[in-house]
A = this chain, B = another copy of it.
Amino acid sequence: MVRLCWALRRARGWGALAGLRARPDKFGGVTVDLAELRRPLRLEWTAFGRWLQGAVLDESTGRVLVVQDRNRTLNAWKFPGGLSNPGEDIGDTAVREVFEETGIKSEFKSILSIRQQHKQPGAFGKSDMYIICRLEPSSFNISFCQQECLRCEWMDLDELARTKHATPITSSVAKLLLYGYREGFGKIDITMREFPAVYTGLFYKLYHRELPESYRNIT
């Protein structure tokens, strides 16, 4: 896998679109003239996708991977993440974005939380959806994207749950993750199952609470 770490990645958030002219379209979305940006290639793919974040917890040390954005005035800790590409699975986006931003390899375990927000000024007054996943690390040496991040650390999960220097959503999810770490991830996980779709050769993924075998096999 080639690691992508471009200055352009900084331009991927809604904020980077603030200078562009936007008008509502027929589909409940917005249209912007991307020619106004100098290097719109990647932005074109992802500008109106879903946001994903990965909470990567090292269970052996109780530490979690956090970053501080380079482009925010308030340097609050948050989980690494970014926008999904078209056709990309929820977990795959989280794993890819964490790797691109921090250099840490990880595996998808579950969905932890979903945020829905409307009328967002930074998204042209439209809605966005934010999904935070629980990931398990398979590498531990940080090599973070200098253009995107100011800092990147393995932080004690207990400290992240208590600090005031975190975004509110990070703080909520850190408390949830601490609850799962101490009392069992079965308390917090929204796990995934894959099923064949009605279209031959295609599959879909269903995320919900773990269902005991006795109920899965009911007939």
| Interface, chain A (partner B; CB < 8 A) | 26-29, 34, 44-49, 85-87, 89-90, 111-121, 126-127, 161-162, 168-169, 172-173, 175-176, 178-179, 187-190, 193, 195, 197, 199, 202, 204-209, 211-212, 215-216, 218-219
Give the residues in chain B near A161, CB-CB below 8 Å: 215, 218
Q: Which B residues lie within 8 Å of A113 (CB)?
A: 206-208
Selected from B28, B89, B190, B208, the residue in CB contact (under 8 A) with A48 is: B28
5 of the cross-chain contacts (CB-CB < 8 Å) are A27-B29, A29-B86, A162-B219, A175-B211, A187-B209
Cα separation A193 to B39 with both chains bound (whole Å): 39
Say yes or no: B117 contacts A176, CB within 8 Å.
no
The A interface is mostly helix, strand or loop, or mixed, namely mixed
Cβ-defined partner of A197 (8 Å) among B27, B117, B212: B117
The CA of A204 and the CA of B174, in the complex, are separated in Å by 18
Q: Which residues on B sit within 8 Å (CB–CB) of A162?
A: 218-219
Copies of this chain, whole number: 2
A69–chain B nearest beta-carbon distance, Å = 14
The smallest beta-carbon distance between A215 and chain B, in angstroms, is 5
Given the interface contacts A90-B116, A199-B120, A216-B175, does A29 sit within 8 Å of B28 by beta carbon?
no
Q: Knowing A44-B27, A207-B114 touch, does A195 contact B168 (C-beta < 8 A)?
A: yes
The residue that A114 contacts in the complex, of B111, B118, B188, with Cβ under 8 A, is B111
Listed residue (A113, A176, A189, A209) with the most chain B CB atoms within 10 angstroms of its CB: A209
Choose among A46, A112, A169, A215 the residue with the greatest number of B CB atoms under 10 Å from its CB. A215
Question: Closest CB-CB distance, A93 to chain B, in whole Å?
Answer: 11
Docked CA distance A216–B175 (Å): 7
**A26, B44: Cα distance in complex, Å:** 5
A208 touches B176 (CB 8 A): yes
Contact B169 A206 (CB under 8 A): yes
Residues from chain B with Cβ under 8 Å of A178 in the complex: 215, 218
